[in-house]
């Protein structure tokens, strides 16, 4: 578990299907996800199961809760091994009513610091659809810069950024 000033982050469990469904089945939110359209319940359940399974690596994704009302799930963030097995990337998604309040940055920053502190990674990547300006802004605020040295996802709609571990 990770706590920030306003948030509590807990490792994803299978019961977190609800927050993933809120985000991944939303036509607007899913535009910026790999499929580019809403996901069905079966796809979402498989996605959540993969997030749970990833924790066997010693790091992974968290569900983000509001600290002053811990029953409220705002979204998710985490760092996971990407399809390019030599690279890990940060992921985040927040319900529409939780956007624009700094939660995504606050949660992503804490996960980035936590993951670097584990000592498993010297560089972490961030990937976003080029038109997803808010996500790119968050990645840049996390200290990430454009990085064309690797291909994380083979999709020309995407931009790749990265940040190295501070000494």
pLDDT at 167: 52
pLDDT in tens, the chain (167 residues): 999 999 999 999 999 999 999 999 988 887 777 777 889 999 999 999 999 999 998 899 999 999 999 999 999 999 999 888 888 999 999 998 998 999 999 999 999 999 999 888 899 999 998 888 999 999 999 999 999 888 888 888 889 999 988 75
In 3D, which of 15, 26, 37, 157 has the Cα closest to residue 94? 26
Strands (E), the chain: 2-3, 7-11, 61-66, 69-81, 88-94, 123-129, 145-146, 158-164
Rounded CA-CA distance 69/91 in Å is: 23
Q: What's 40's domain CATH number?
A: 3.40.630.30
pLDDT at 72: 93
Domain that holds residue 14: 2-164
Alpha helix ranges (H) inside the chain: 17-24, 41-54, 103-117, 133-141
pLDDT at 14: 95
In 3D, which of 63, 59, 40, 42 has the Cα closest to residue 118? 59
In 3D, which of 61, 128, 66, 120 has the Cα closest to residue 97? 66
Half-sphere exposure (Cβ direction) of 60: Cα atoms closer than 13 Å: 19
pTM of the predicted protein model = 0.91
Counted domains in the chain: 1
Q: Strands 61-66, 88-94: parallel, antiparallel or unpaired by DSSP?
A: unpaired
pLDDT at 162: 93
Phi/psi for 40 (5° steps) reads -85, 170
pLDDT at 27: 81
pLDDT at 32: 78
Phi/psi for 145 (5° steps) reads -125, 160
pLDDT at 33: 76
């Amino acid at each position: 578990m990770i706590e920030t000033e306003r948030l509590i982050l807990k490792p994803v469990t299978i019961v977190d299907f609800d927050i993933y469904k809120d985000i991944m089945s939303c036509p607007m939110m899913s535009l910026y996800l790999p499929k580019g359209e809403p996901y069905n319940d079966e796809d979402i359940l498989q996605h959540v199961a993969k997030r749970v399974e990833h924790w066997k690596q010693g790091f992974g994704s968290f569900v983000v809760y509001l600290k002053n009302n811990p029953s409220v799930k705002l979204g998710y963030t985490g760092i996971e091994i990407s399809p390019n097995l030599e690279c890990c990337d940060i992921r985040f998604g927040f319900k529409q009513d939780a956007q624009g309040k700094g939660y995504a940055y606050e949660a992503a920053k804490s996960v980035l610091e936590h993951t670097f502190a584990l000592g498993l990674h010297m560089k972490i990547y961030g990937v976003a659809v080029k038109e997803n300006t808010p996500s790119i802004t968050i990645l840049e605020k996390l200290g990430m810069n454009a990085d064309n040295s690797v291909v994380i996802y083979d999709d020309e709609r995407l931009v790749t950024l990265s940040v190295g571990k501070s000494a």
